[in-house]
Structure formats: C-alpha cells, structure tokens
Amino acid sequence: MTGLLTVTGAAKSYRSRTVLDGVDLTVNAGDRLGVVGASGAGKSTLLRLLLAVEAPDRGEIRLRDRPVRPGRPGTMAWFRRAVQLVPQDPFGSLSPRMTVAEIITEPLICLRVPGHHAARVSELLTAVDLDPALAGRLPSALSGGQRQRVAVARALAPRPEILVADEPVSALDATVRVRVLDLLRDVSERNGTALVMVSHDVAAVRRACTRVAVLHQGRIAESGTVGDVLTRPRTEATRDLLAAVPRLPSAAA
C-alpha cells in the first residue's frame, strides 16, 4: 500500500557536509510517528524537507504519490493545505499584534479556504480545550500552554491530512507538556490526522506516538512500533537516546 507521505532515498548536504544520507520514511493516514535523534542527527533538515521548505539533493518526497518540490507560494497551496506545522516555540511563533481569532484565521485566508471563518475559529478553540471567548485576546494574555494550543488550532484550521510537530513541548514546563502531548494524540485520533513529531525527547514521543524512527548521523538507524523500538532497542544509537530520557509526570495536573 502506498503511504500518504513517502520519503525515498532523501539526501541533503551543505557545503560538502552530508546531513541526510538516504533516508526512507513512510507516513500512513492516521499515523502517529515520532522521529527522534540526538543533536546533529539531521532532524531539522528532515523537518524542512517534510515541510517542502527545501528539496533533497537526491531522492524524492511524495504526498499521495504526487511529487513534492518547493516552489512559488501559489503553486504549493495544495501541499500547504495538506501538511501543517505545529512549531516549537509558543512564545515566538504567534504574532503579538494579532488576536487569537486572526492567528487561527490566517491560514484560511492565505490558502483561500472557503467557509464561515468565525465559526471555524470557535470550533477549533473548543477542539483544543480553550474557551472560544479567548478569540479576541492577544497572545500576551495567554499562558505558554494556551499559546501552544492556539498554535495547534491554527495548524488544524485548513483541515490538513498531516501535522508536523517540531519539538512541540520543549518550551513548556513538565505538566503543561503532558497536556499538549495528550492534545496532539487526541486530535490525531479524533480527526484521523496523521502526526509526525520530530524531537530529541524520547519520553514525549513515547507518550504521543505509536511508531518511531531513530535518526542517527543522517540515516534511519531503526524504526518500528514505540513498544518494540523503545523497549527492545537494536542499535547503540537508540540505547544512547534511552539512557538520556527525562521522566514525564504520569498524569496531567
């Protein structure tokens, strides 16, 4: 079966330094896939390829078997509707001059998504467990956890098939991290939206994802279900990551 998003033989170099070297990855509809690796493993580069910010030097990326290559904004609208980013920093990723409603509506306007945008904002705030009355607030009036929920709502606005989450809880404190991870997991399950979480944090991936791929020195060292890979690691790269795992609280506060 052809995956929803497939990465085949992706390689990328910068100034003769190879960062990715033949990465193969498949994301199926409804998947929750964590891509983990130590600093320098190539996660940020892979993230840019998955978001079509950059193109691989070799290999290819396909969405529903359609080749994905970065291009002019107007030519990429089909891809931007299907793949949306949940960014790392809830404090820097939201415009301080825009209200919550304007932030969530922005991708709908940019991608020319039809419909009643105000109703969609209210629907999305409810979906991420925020009071719709917050729609008129500025980000400065929100906590870090609330801001990241707004970022999730913004990413969900155009009804994407895939959410790509870039270290989505690294800027949050421990108990808020758990709530946001559970939100991402629940949103994926409820909507059938695939989730790709790129992170160095194995504990976060264990909580939110069902599958995991370990990136090491630009290659996939091993992949499989979270239970198999993180319980019975086959490679030294995975064992090293597991040795550095911080502990998350067992339940949200």
Separation of alpha carbons 66 and 252, rounded Å = 40
What size, in residues, is the chain? 253
For 188, the token pair is 């994926």
- The pLDDT score that the predictor gives to residue 253 is 39
Main-chain dihedrals φ then ψ at residue 123, nearest 5 degrees: -60, -45
Residue pair 84/158 in contact by the 8 Å Cβ criterion: yes
Separation of alpha carbons 72 and 7, rounded Å = 21
- CB environment 130-143: b (16+ within 10 A), e (fewer): beeebbebebeebe
In CATH terms, 5-243 corresponds, of 3.30.70.20, 3.40.50.620, 3.40.50.300, 3.30.930.10, to 3.40.50.300
- The pLDDT score that the predictor gives to residue 1 is 46
What pTM value is reported for the model? 0.92
Residue pair 32/210 in contact by the 8 Å Cβ criterion: yes
- The pLDDT score that the predictor gives to residue 244 is 78
> Strands 58-63, 66-67: parallel, antiparallel or unpaired by DSSP?
antiparallel
Residue pair 31/193 in contact by the 8 Å Cβ criterion: no
pLDDT tens digit at each of 253 positions of the chain: 468 999 999 999 998 899 999 999 999 999 999 999 998 999 999 999 999 999 999 999 999 999 998 887 678 999 999 999 999 988 888 999 999 999 999 999 999 999 999 999 999 999 999 999 999 999 999 999 999 999 999 999 999 999 999 999 988 888 899 999 999 999 999 999 999 999 988 999 999 999 999 999 999 999 999 999 999 999 999 998 898 776 655 544 3
Main-chain dihedrals φ then ψ at residue 195, nearest 5 degrees: -120, 125
Say which residue the tokens 């160095």 belong to. Answer: 200
Residue pair 93/139 in contact by the 8 Å Cβ criterion: no
Q: What is the four-CA torsion angle of 175, 177, 178, 181, rounded to 10 degrees?
A: 170
Cα separations in angstroms, 165 against 49, 53, 112, 155, 244: 13, 15, 23, 10, 21
Separation of alpha carbons 154 and 140, rounded Å = 17
3-state secondary structure of 74: helix
Say which residue the tokens 């964590």 belong to. Answer: 34
Angle at the Cα of 73 from the Cα atoms of 68 and 74, rounded to 5 degrees: 95
